[in-house]
Amino acid sequence: MKRFLDRLLSAATPLLIQYKWYGMTGIAFVAAALLALGGAQLSARALENVVARETASALITEGLDWAEVETDGLLLRLSGEAPTEASRFNAISTANQIVSAERILDEITVKPATEIAAPDFSMEILRNGLDVQMVGLVPWEFDLSAFQARVEAVDAELSVENMLETAGYPEPFAWASATDFALSALASLNAAKISISPGRVNVVGLTGSEDERDRIRIELARERPRDVIAALDISAPRPAISPFTLRFVLDEDGARFDACAADTQDARSAILNSARAAGASGRLECIVGLGAPTPDWQDGVVAALDTIAQMGAGTVTFSDTDVTMVVPATVGSDVFDRRIGALEGRLPDAFSLDAVRLPPSDSQLAAVQDQAEFGARLLENGAVMLSGRLTDARTRDAVRSLAQANFGPDAVTMAARLDPDLPGGWPLKALLAVDVLSYLNTGTVRVVPDRVEISGVSGLTDASDQISRLLADKLGQRAVFALDVTYDEAFDPIAQLPTPARCKGWIDEIITDRKITFDPGSTSITGDAIGVLDEIAEVLRGCGRMSMEVAGHTDSQGRLETNMRLSQQRAEAVVAGLMARGALVSEFVAKGYGPEFPIADNATESGREDNRRIEFSLIGASLEAARAELAPEGNTPAEDAELQELPDESELAIPVSPGEDAALRPRTRPDRAE
């Protein structure tokens, strides 16, 4: 408008000069023109404001407050960022109700559409024998055909039903690692449910035995990729026990089970409580299995144990529903009759009781019988010594042949002489002595006329149960035998498989006996420390991949910065030394702590020597596996792992110190030379 007025005045001035309108008439004409033009300008601006105000109000009413309105003469300019294309069109339509479409300038931009998030990919593989089903949603890039071919390659007889869906997104992190590990679990288990998600695999499976369950758990733990969290819930069915056997002894050596079986956990608790009431102490074992001959098993066993406790001595043997109770002559006949009568009233109808009170021994007969003996002894080196008396040459040959079949032809030494006047049943007891010896790793079986005595060490957790069942089956329910068999984990092949907890315990034993030492101010491993590092590397080579922290510690002498740097370099030197010796240290972390965690007094030389040390601690998945292995019975690793992610590795480190929890120190490792 200002430019228009300037042009008007420029055009009017020459005319005024030309016609010499310098009087009042010319001035009035110019003033009138200026007033008219000013009024027109004000009217135009008022109209623009009304249009802008009405348009803005209409947009706000429609919820389009993001739109900005400007006027330029007869034009209406719309600007701003619309959340969607539909919102932009709605703003233009609303403005069109105020002004015509040709007067609207559209300068609205549309907010870029956000990328749709990828779905949660997951897959479940269900296997029941030779039938396999796969369901879930997998990435488009995942080679589904190749994966199905790998599943079918597990067993040529597998029938695979593929119900997987795909979505057009790339594979998430650790998806390939998780599917590879799932295939390993599928190949190991005939009955399993395997749930797969990026970086995580949950395995619920069933095996045929506890040994197989333990083996598969250890194998899968070793094969787990580093970027995959695995939760393994692998169980084994209860063992089938036949005959269902229990044997309880109360004599001068105390109360104990030679064999114990229960059909339920409640029955097991009730039986063990009765045994403790009868005088048994320490850790009592009782197998929960299948094959109980009657639902009243618990009631019958508890009644018999209570009776033994009331008489103060005796042995009770259950073989299915046959119950045999043998009581020594020290129990009075009146007490025996009264207690046995009460027991017959308490026993459920399914049980058959045979109770015997032994007569007093004849001292002269005992002296003669003590001379008759046959012994079978298994030494630590595997040699078997057979000595004593046998009835005839045929029996001697049969005993030797059985021993050679069980232990090897070169391991058996026969030193038994012949005596045809031995008591009846002697050949059977001699053969049983050799059979019983095969349940032991070291020990002795002694046969005398009135009993069989077994003592030794076994790597079988249920050795006493099996031996009792064998003797009761072959010699009858009235057989008298004494069992003193100790379980030793060092002889248990399953218990001695390398696990993170055991491997750490073996390393702790090495560095407890001999420390990894360095020369003052040095990071070089020299002298005796080389031998220590060799032993640790030997353990680690057998343990496979583990996650561990190697921590370096110093005393408080010197500057803190120097000690921190020195401890870090020494820890790194240990890891490098182990790697040079063939140990798998890809998941090892070297950490220097300087003087931060002393275990002794830095004011003394001996204390400073103790503080200058190298420690090994489990971290990450290896620590989780160790905690699951050492968890109390009844708490499965999957119960904790199913709902919890692994915490930060720094929170899981186990410092090795004199006050460390003894539960993380397993038994001494087996002799590698053997």
Q: Is the model more confident about 354 or about 26?
A: 354
Q: Is the pLDDT of residue 656 over 70?
A: no
Rounded distance between C-alpha atoms, residue 518 and residue 527, angstroms: 9
Find the distance separating the first CA and the last CA of the chain, reported in whole Å: 109
| The two three-digit tokens of residue 360, written as one number | 């007093």
Q: What class does CATH assign to 122-235?
A: alpha beta
**Buried residues in 163-197 as b, exposed as e (16+ CB within 10 A):** ebeeeebebeebbbbbbebbbbbbebbeebbbbbb
Q: Is the pLDDT of residue 262 over 90?
A: yes
pLDDT at 104 (0 to 100): 83
Check pLDDT > 60 for residue 313. Answer: yes
pLDDT digits (tens, 9 = 90+) for 144-187: 999 999 999 998 888 999 999 998 888 899 999 999 999 999 99
Strand partners, 453: 446, 482
Q: What is the pLDDT of residues 436-492, one digit of tens each?
A: 999 999 999 999 888 899 999 998 888 888 898 888 888 887 778 888 988 887 787
Can you read off the two tokens belonging to residue 345?
């009233």
pLDDT value at position 42? 60
The CA distance from 52 to 651, in Å, is 64
pLDDT of residue 11: 56
User: Kind and range of the H or E element at 185?
Assistant: helix 175-188
- The whole-number pLDDT of residue 569 equals 93
Please, what sign has the CA dihedral across residues 190, 195, 200, 206? Answer: negative
Does domain 245-357 match CATH 3.40.190.10?
no
Per-residue pLDDT tens digits for 409-431: 889 998 787 888 888 889 999 99
pLDDT of residue 47: 67
In this prediction the pTM is: 0.49
When comparing pLDDT for 454 and 360, which is higher? 454
- Give the C-alpha separation, 12 to 214, whole Å: 110
CATH, domain range 500-664: 3.30.1330.60
Residue 627, pLDDT > 80, answer yes
Mean pLDDT of 304-333: 93
Can you read off the two tokens belonging to residue 604? Answer: 């003394």
pLDDT of residue 643: 35
pLDDT of residue 348: 93
Q: Write the DSSP assignment of 216-235 as a string of letters.
A: HHHHHHHH--TT-EEEEEEE
Taking alpha carbons only, the member of 353, 323, 356, 324 closest to residue 337 is 356
Return mean pLDDT, the chain.
Answer: 83
Query: CA–CA separation, 254 vs 648, rounded Å?
Result: 50
Sheet with 374-378, strands from edge to edge, namely 412-418, 384-390, 374-378, 442-448, 451-458, 481-487
Residues 6+ positions from 406 with CB-CB distance below 8 Å: 434, 435, 437, 438
pLDDT band at 646 (very low <50, low <70, confident <90, very high): very low
**Residues 52-85: pLDDT tens digits?**
888 888 888 888 888 888 887 778 888 888 888 8
* pLDDT on residue 185: 94
Output the six-digit token pair for 644. 């919890």
Residue 652: pLDDT above 60?
A: no
User: Has residue 38 got a pLDDT over 70?
Assistant: no
* Residue 418 DSSP SS3: strand
| Predicted confidence (pLDDT) per residue in 85-135, tens digit | 888 888 888 888 888 878 888 888 888 766 567 788 999 999 998 999 999
pLDDT mean over 292-316: 95
Q: Indicate the domain borders of the chain.
A: 2-110, 122-235, 245-357, 363-491, 500-664
Q: Tell me, what amino acid is at 127?
A: R
The residue written with tokens 């105000």 in the block is 53
Which letter does DSSP use for residue 525 in this model?
B
- 378 pLDDT above the threshold of 90: yes
Q: What percent of the chain has pLDDT over 90?
A: 40
DSSP code at position 171: P
DSSP 20-86: T--SHHHHHHHHHHHHHHHHHHHHHHHHHHHHHHHHHHHHHHTT-TT-EEEEETTEEEEEEEESSHH
Q: Which two tokens stand for residue 396?
A: 């001697």
Strand 229-235 with 200-206, pairing: parallel
Query: What pLDDT score does 457 carry?
Result: 92
> pLDDT tens-digit profile of 322-351?
999 999 988 988 788 889 888 988 999 999
- Comparing CA positions, the residue from 302, 322, 326, 301 lying closest to residue 313 is 326
What is the architecture of the domain spanning 363-491? 3-Layer(aba) Sandwich (3.40)
DSSP-derived 3-state class of residue 583: coil
User: What percent of the chain has pLDDT above 70?
Assistant: 84
Of 34-43, 296-305, 658-667, the one with minimum mean pLDDT is 658-667
* Residue pLDDT, tens place only, 384-402: 999 888 989 899 899 999 9
In this structure, of 243-252, 469-478, 490-499, the range with the lowest mean pLDDT score is 490-499
Average pLDDT rounded to a whole number, residues 634-651: 40
245-357 and 500-664, same CATH topology: no
What is the distance between the alpha carbons of residues 407 and 411, in angstroms, rounded to a whole number?
Answer: 6
Per-residue pLDDT band for 365 (boundaries 50, 70, 90) equals: very low
Q: For the domain 2-110, what is the CATH code?
A: 3.30.70.1770
pLDDT digits (tens, 9 = 90+) for 591-610: 999 999 999 999 998 888 88
Return the HEC string of 421-487.
Answer: CCCCCHHHHHHHHHHHHCCCCEEEEEEECCEEEEEEEECCCCHHHHHHHHHHHHHCCCCCEEEEEEE
pLDDT on residue 376:
93
Lowest mean pLDDT among 73-87, 346-360, 658-672: 658-672
pLDDT (tens digit per residue) in 576-594: 999 999 999 889 999 999 9
For 82, half-sphere exposure in the C-beta direction (CA atoms, 13 angstrom radius) is 18
